[in-house]
Amino acid sequence: MNARKRLAMLVALLALGNASAVSMKLAAVLPLTGPLSTLGSEARKAIQLALKQRIPELQQLGLDVQWVFLDDANEPSRAPALVASVIRDPQIVGMIGPLSSGVTLKMGEQLVANPVAMVSAVTPADNLTEKGWNFYSRIAAPNSAQAQAASDYIANSLKAKSVFIVSDNQTFGNDLTNAVQKELNGTAVKSLGFAGVTGAADTTALAARITAMQPELVFFGGTFDEAALLLNALRATGSQTLFMGGQTLATPDFVRRTVKNAPGTLYVDGFGQLTGYVNGINFVNAFAAEYQSHTGAGTAFSYDVANLLIDAAESVYRATGKLPTRDQMIGAVRKTNIPVERAVTGAISFTPSGERRVSPLFIMQIDKDSFAGGIKFITKYRPKN
């Protein structure tokens, strides 16, 4: 057989293989524009990396998986249109949920009538797993768990005598700060006040008010940009009070916006440091090789969710030989049982409510030399249901 005939046969075989492959799509809803676009971009890279690493395995199985990326711009008002675009594409059988609790909540409400498996990498609002949605799961610890870890640290490790609590008036911020305030009730820590702020003008006025009260610690719940505004405003008044927030502060963008004011900042975090995970170094090296840059532990959660959804689709396809239905994907996701050696962020399985059975939690503090978060305290969250 000459070279031309061999080439023709190879092309024919490849065409036959491609024709017989079962094509399916998974969606990822991310803030690709707007104030959280840096986080969305990093998550997108991790998701793409997960699929690239699985392509040889999926091709051998005869399964063609594609990602569809949808931009929520961190705007809950976009939820109806995003859900509609997912529902009208029958090849989309599952999705990675938004990074924002507010957008996730709105999408979940829209999905009740036409459920699609949705797994969140980082979204912590407690009520997301209190709705009875069988299609929703997440792998990050909820706000109540973060609030308990933060409150324990404030009361028992820092032994702070007073705190002022601030929210950015959004879903995540309100959820976290209300939970922290509740957890601190009954402790020796006195609450000097609770306020919600949005924008520079409100923040400047509130900073002056807080400084006059002289709390030992200010706890902030909300996005990193609003946190940066408040911290900078506090320091501008001369206040050196301890500043603590939620996991949204675990981003270089917060440090860039606060610069010299960042060191010493504490935050409760469900991510920690990649080097602390069994497969953390492997992920760091793979991400750096693919994108010539480093990333944070939060990105690894998106990577794990991407692999989780691919696993679910693969398990259904192996069992049926057909494109997974949306109902089959919902069931497969809830049956997830990923051992520690196959994930970056630890073993993954879910309770009936969609919570991860064991979630890591950390108290981090931004270092004055590296401007990176260093671990101060480690615990684990185990939900009751």
Q: How does residue 216 score in pLDDT terms, banded at 50, 70 and 90?
A: very high
Shared domain for 327 and 374, answered yes or no, is no
pLDDT number for residue 4:
54
Are 10 and 2 contacting, i.e. CB atoms less than 8 angstroms apart? no
Shared domain for 67 and 124, answered yes or no, is yes
Q: How does residue 333 score in pLDDT terms, banded at 50, 70 and 90?
A: very high
DSSP state of 356: B
DSSP strand pairing (337-338 vs 348-349):
antiparallel
Shared domain for 57 and 28, answered yes or no, is yes
pTM above 0.75, yes or no: yes
Are 357 and 385 contacting, i.e. CB atoms less than 8 angstroms apart? no
Shared domain for 129 and 231, answered yes or no, is no
Shared domain for 234 and 369, answered yes or no, is yes
Nearest to 375 by CA among 119, 108, 153: 153
Shared domain for 302 and 324, answered yes or no, is yes
Q: How many CB atoms lie within 10 A of CB 187?
A: 15
pLDDT number for residue 241:
97
Mean pLDDT, all residues of the chain: 92
Q: How does residue 18 score in pLDDT terms, banded at 50, 70 and 90?
A: very low
Shared domain for 130 and 264, answered yes or no, is no
Q: What is the dihedral of CA 357, 118, 141, 256, to 10 degrees?
A: 150
Shared domain for 55 and 74, answered yes or no, is yes
Shared domain for 136 and 50, answered yes or no, is yes
Shared domain for 130 and 148, answered yes or no, is no
Q: Does 384 or 137 have the greater pLDDT score? A: 137
Q: What angle do CA 141, 139, 52 make, to 5 degrees?
A: 145
pLDDT number for residue 247:
86
Q: Residue 240 is part of a domain; what is its CATH number?
A: 3.40.50.2300
The beta strand positions in the chain, using DSSP E, are 22-30, 63-71, 92-96, 117-120, 136-138, 162-167, 190-196, 217-221, 242-245, 266-269, 337-338, 348-349, 359-366, 373-381
Structure tokens given for 342:
């196959």
Structure tokens given for 20:
């017989």
pLDDT number for residue 276:
81
Shared domain for 161 and 255, answered yes or no, is yes
pLDDT number for residue 14:
42
Domain that holds residue 152: 144-269+362-381
- Give bridge partners of residue 220 from the DSSP assignment: 166, 245
Q: How many CB atoms lie within 10 A of CB 358?
A: 15
pLDDT above 90 for 217: yes
Looking at the structure of the chain, the number of domains it has is: 2
Q: Does 193 or 199 have the greater pLDDT score? A: 193
pLDDT above 90 for 52: yes
**Tokens 């192996």, residue?**
318
Q: How does residue 2 score in pLDDT terms, banded at 50, 70 and 90?
A: low
24-38 pLDDT, tens digit per residue, is 999 999 999 998 899
DSSP strand pairing (92-96 vs 63-71):
unpaired
147-179 pLDDT, tens digit per residue, is 999 999 999 999 999 999 999 998 889 989 999
pLDDT above 50 for 9: no
Burial of 72 (0-12, 13-18, 19+ CB in 10 A): buried
290-321 pLDDT, tens digit per residue, is 999 989 888 999 999 999 999 999 999 999 99
Shared domain for 7 and 85, answered yes or no, is yes
Q: Return the sign of the alpha-carbon dihedral for residues 313, 315, 320, 321.
A: positive
